[in-house]
Amino acid sequence: MKRFFRNSFLALSLLAILGLGVSAQSSNASRGRKFKEPPPTARIEITVIHDVNGKPIENASVIFHELDSREKGNMELRTNEDGKTVIDVLEIGSTVRFQVIAQGYQTYGQDFKIEKSSLNLLVKLSRPVKQYSIYNDHSKDAAQPVPAQVQPEQPAQNGQPAPAQSQPQTQQPK
């Protein structure tokens, strides 16, 4: 008799546990999170080179800041030895502020809208120029002659090119 009660108790316990498991699975389907597919993203490849000799600039900071996003923050990448970096997490249709900062070069920045799924950007950085100051003596700058300007050739008459007309040069302030 004890075996009968023990076996029936085990059978009832097993049925109760299985019943709870089935009911838990059916209730999770209605209460769980809804899967939301992520928006399509673009693959953007950035190449940073020197503007004079075209050599790649290694270890330049490339910073992206989404302008129309609710989230605050930015994404920063570094260029490799070929001057290249790739980002593929920016949404298509978003507006992005894009900056390139490299030591010893002028900072470059631009805002653009991502409209394609693939985009290649070439950034040519130049060395900084001397700043203009009102406290420096600029009389030497004004005394230097203005270089001659190239004029377009006159149309040929009778098979012979017409001589270029010379105009008096005037000094223009810089």
Question: Would you state the pLDDT for residue 147?
Answer: 46
Question: Would you state the pLDDT for residue 6?
Answer: 59
Question: Would you state the pLDDT for residue 165?
Answer: 45
Distance CA(83)–CA(3), nearest Å, equals 79
**pLDDT, tens digit (0-9, with 9 covering 90-100), for 117-164:** 999 999 999 998 888 788 888 777 655 544 444 444 444 455 454 444
Helix (H) or strand (E) holding 41: strand 41-50
- Is beta strand 41-50 parallel, antiparallel or unpaired with respect to 84-91? antiparallel
- Given a contact cutoff of 8 angstroms between Cβ atoms, the answer to whether 169 and 150 are in contact is no
Domains of the chain: 43-125 (2.60.40.10)
- Is beta strand 118-125 parallel, antiparallel or unpaired with respect to 41-50? parallel
Distance CA(119)–CA(108), nearest Å, equals 18
**pLDDT, tens digit (0-9, with 9 covering 90-100), for 77-107:** 999 999 999 999 989 999 999 999 999 999 9
Question: Would you state the pLDDT for residue 151?
Answer: 41
Q: Is the pLDDT of residue 28 over 60?
A: no
Distances (CA, A) of 80 to 16, 47, 96: 62, 9, 22
Question: Would you state the pLDDT for residue 174?
Answer: 46
Q: What does pLDDT average to over the chain?
A: 77
Question: Would you state the pLDDT for residue 17?
Answer: 73
Strands (E) in 73-117, as ranges, are 75-78, 84-91, 95-101, 108-113
Say which residues have a Cβ less than 8 Å from residue 88's Cβ, sequence separation at least 6.
Answer: 41, 42, 43, 44
- Given a contact cutoff of 8 angstroms between Cβ atoms, the answer to whether 70 and 29 are in contact is no
Confidence of residue 61 (pLDDT cuts 50, 70, 90): very high
Q: Which of 40-44, 47-51, 98-102, 141-145 has the lowest mean pLDDT?
A: 141-145
What is the percent of the chain with per-residue pLDDT over 90, rounded to a whole number? 41
